[in-house]
Amino acid sequence: MSSSFDSAAADWDKKAYRAEYYSVLAGHICSAMPLSKKWRALEYGCGTASLSMLLSEKLGSVVCADNSAGMIEEANRRIAERKIRNLSAKSLDIEKDATTAGEYDLIFSSLTLHHVADASGFLARLASMLKIGGWLALADLEEEDGSFHSDCSVPHKGFSPEVISAQLAELGFCDISSRTVYGIPREHRDYPVFLIAGRKRTAD
């Protein structure tokens, strides 16, 4: 899957809805938790780092990570062009690469989970990377009929927000909130996107 994202990176932000989507999502993340300039954050599945750029002024530092080399190259180009000093982008495959436990105050991810075969394992890995008291913000497609990705195969046709919220509770999260924040336009319909936020309260 990363190879298709590599080739799409240069034109990724040209789709008309994306700027609006990232702006709306950033606003909902800001209202869902008390962001702090003392926080070290990770965006996983960052693409070209558009969401991180919108949140950068409210955070201490953000590591923008993705398993697509093309997306990371484009993210680094845009970060350098805009001279955003508290952002950095790096290649990372959370399913395969080593990660550090308890490293981040905030992890956020947008439209990545449905590309991950082992979604439950992915959530557990994100939880392990958060500090106690750290926050997770996860945006993804609500359950759909598979037509959103009619041109390719993905492991999941969206998710039930209630199921994801329950999984986070089992992983030791509290203050869990869930809301529908956007509808991605495709031909004659919109595909709803949820945002789930929660705070890690217990050790793994």
**Mean pLDDT, the chain, integer:** 92
Q: Any residues with CB less than 8 A from the CB of 168 and at least 6 apart, and which?
A: 123, 127, 136, 176, 196, 198
The predicted-structure confidence for 114-171, as pLDDT tens digits, reads as follows 999 999 999 999 999 999 999 999 999 999 999 998 878 899 999 999 999 999 999 9
Give percent of the chain with pLDDT exceeding 90. Answer: 85
Amino acid type, 116: V
Are 176 and 189 in contact, with CB atoms under 8 Å apart?
Answer: no
Kindly list the distances between the CA atom of residue 111 and the CA atoms of 137, 174, 203, in Å, as whole numbers in the listed order. Answer: 11, 22, 27
Domain count, the chain: 1
The Cβ-side half-sphere exposure at 131, using a 13 Å CA radius, reads 10
Q: What is the pLDDT of residue 188?
A: 83
pTM: 0.92
Please determine, for residue 15, whether its predicted confidence score (pLDDT) is greater than 90: no
We report the CATH number of the domain holding residue 152 as 3.40.50.150
Higher pLDDT, 17 or 105: 105
Give the DSSP H or E segment for 120: helix 119-129
Query: pLDDT-based confidence at 203, cuts 50/70/90?
Result: low
The predicted-structure confidence for 72-85, as pLDDT tens digits, reads as follows 999 999 999 999 99
Please determine, for residue 195, whether its predicted confidence score (pLDDT) is greater than 80: yes
What average pLDDT does the segment 32-55 reach?
A: 97
Domain residues for the domain of 134 are 2-200
Query: pLDDT-based confidence at 202, cuts 50/70/90?
Result: low
For residue 117, give the 3-state DSSP assignment: coil
